[in-house]
Amino acid sequence: MTSPDKSLARSMGKVAVLMGGDSAEREVSLMSGNGVLKALLSQGVDASAFDPAHTDLSELKSERFERVFVALHGRHGEDGTVQGALELLGIPYTGSGVMASAICMDKVMTKRVWVAEGLPTPRWVWLARDQHAPARLRAVPDEVGLPLIVKPPREGSSLGITKVMGYSQMQEAVALSLQYDADVLCEEFIEGIELTCPVLGDGENARALPVIRIDAPGGNYDFEHKYYSDDTGYRCPSGLPPEEEAEVQRLVLAAYRSLSCRGWGRADLMQRASDGKLFLLEMNTSPGMTGHSLVPMSARAAGLSYEQLCLHLLAHAALDGQRSTAGGA
């Protein structure tokens, strides 16, 4: 266990750890939040759990919380809505601000920014809520190729995702995606190595942490394999040649900055087996902090314990337009 930095912990004031919420990722958020809460308490921080599904956010102000650690995932947690409420309340919070959170939660909008910035991402087709007719669905594989991935553009934790191998699977895959979102993202499937890379910090001072290679059974990194299975393999160090590791980190930093992220984040990528080319998949602005989560794993490889990571993120809590509101690494 890391020795608490008592002076830094005291400077955090009264802290709320937002967890739970009402999204499809509530269960994962509770795991993340309880891990963060335990870590902060171990460092001497005056921290308390706060579940916005059960307690109105206005009570953050009336109970005089001085900063917030956002451990919410999914809708109403990392999509800019909670961030906007905290801006109005004037309470500094961890992670990205309103605009970056909203854009990153929407994979289609994220891709549009990356394409505009010349950053690589798989080809895709966006199906709006009035574009789900059978004839339209049959045309999608001709546009992005087979196999392809069908997923809800504003959901996380691999919920509602299907790998489509043939035309006949499109209808069922879209139906599953529609259980989570009114729109559907159909994306080119990249055969290769799955990678992820966290980032800490703001703007030009942001730094990429070590890259993690993910080896999921059968290449299926779904909800079960992310949070509950011990069958998924993680390599950190990634085992990539140093120049390839550096290129992943360079690309991830460019992707992070292009979206105006701050505080922390984690980009997911694929490295195509045929030629080694990298493709950005998504940017997570409120990554998981569970026992199976990847940011703590990468941070440990960089010499930062789970407890130190939590305290570091909290120390850099801010409002839009501000830098960190307290000291910290």
CATH (domain of 168): 3.30.1490.20
pLDDT of residue 252: 98
- Report the distance separating Cα 52 and Cα 77, nearest Å: 9
From 149, 164, 188, give the residue that closes a domain.
188
Question: Considering the domain boundaries, does residue 318 fall inside one?
Answer: no
Q: Token pair of 229, please?
A: 């299975």
H-helix or E-strand containing 111? helix 107-116
Are 208 and 303 in a shared domain? yes
pLDDT of residue 176: 95
- 59 is an active site residue: no
pLDDT of residue 329: 40
Tell me the pLDDT of the chain averaged across its residues: 92
Are 154 and 107 in a shared domain? no
Domain residues for the domain of 220 are 103-120+191-309
Are 181 and 205 in a shared domain? no
Are 257 and 232 in a shared domain? yes
Give the pairing type, strands 264-272 and 278-284: antiparallel
Query: Which is more confident, 1 or 50?
Result: 50
Q: Is 7 exposed, middle or buried (0-12, 13-18, 19+ CB in 10 A)?
A: exposed
- 93 is an active site residue: no
- 268 is an active site residue: yes
The number of distinct structural domains making up the chain is 3
In the chain, helix, strand, coil percent, each to 5? 40, 20, 40
User: Strand, helix or coil at 17?
Assistant: strand
- 34 is an active site residue: no
Are 203 and 304 in a shared domain? yes
Are 155 and 211 in a shared domain? no
- 96 is an active site residue: no
Q: One of 67, 213, 262, 266 is an active-site residue; which one? A: 266
pLDDT of residue 17: 98
Q: One of 227, 245, 306, 307 is an active-site residue; which one? A: 227
Are 31 and 174 in a shared domain? no
Question: Considering the domain boundaries, does residue 133 fall inside one?
Answer: yes
Q: Token pair of 322, please?
A: 């501000």
Q: Token pair of 54, please?
A: 């059960």
Are 228 and 81 in a shared domain? no
- 243 is an active site residue: no
Question: Considering the domain boundaries, does residue 328 fall inside one?
Answer: no
CB 262 within 8 A of CB 105: no
Q: One of 282, 298, 307, 324 is an active-site residue; which one? A: 282
On the question of a cis peptide bond just before residue 237, with omega within 30 degrees of 0, the verdict is yes
**Tens digit of each residue's pLDDT (9 = 90 or more) over 137-196:** 999 999 999 999 999 999 875 789 999 999 999 999 999 999 999 999 999 999 999 999
Are 108 and 182 in a shared domain? no
Q: Token pair of 196, please?
A: 């992820």
pLDDT of residue 228: 47
**Tens digit of each residue's pLDDT (9 = 90 or more) over 9-55:** 889 999 999 999 998 889 999 999 999 999 999 999 999 999 999 99
Q: How confident is the model at residue 324 (pLDDT cuts 50, 70, 90)?
A: very low
Query: Which is more confident, 225 or 133?
Result: 133
This prediction's pTM? 0.91
- 288 is an active site residue: yes
Are 251 and 152 in a shared domain? no
